[in-house]
Amino acid sequence: MLQIWLIRILIISVMLVLNKLKKKANNTVQTLDIRGKVCPLTFVYTKLTLEKMKSSEILEVILDFPAAVENVPASCKRQNIGELLDVNHIDTEKNVWILTIKKI
């Protein structure tokens, strides 16, 4: 009886792990490096890239224009093309950020 119970737990655990791996595999990550670009071009490049992507794919936007850190996600949300998942300030000296955006 205990063996059957342990086997069931093992099967459920394996299924959960496989499900997580499948979800990660479905989320293709693309990178867009737009350092040196200013608004509104930062959003234009981001929008053009998102339009080529499939729903739920991930776009990492690397940028160095401070105003774009707020403007790009706001414009994506307003136009219903992307959802901001994360903002990472990777270089405080050069003001470089990575925006992680999920295609809607």
List 33, 39, 44, 83, catalytic entry: 39
Residue 39 designated active-site: yes
- What string of DSSP letters covers the chain? -HHHHHHHHHHHHHHHHHHHHHHHHH--EEEEE-TT--TTHHHHHHHHHHHHSPTT-EEEEEE--HHHHHHHHHHHHHTTSEEEEEEEEEETTTTEEEEEEEE-
* Active-site residue set: 39
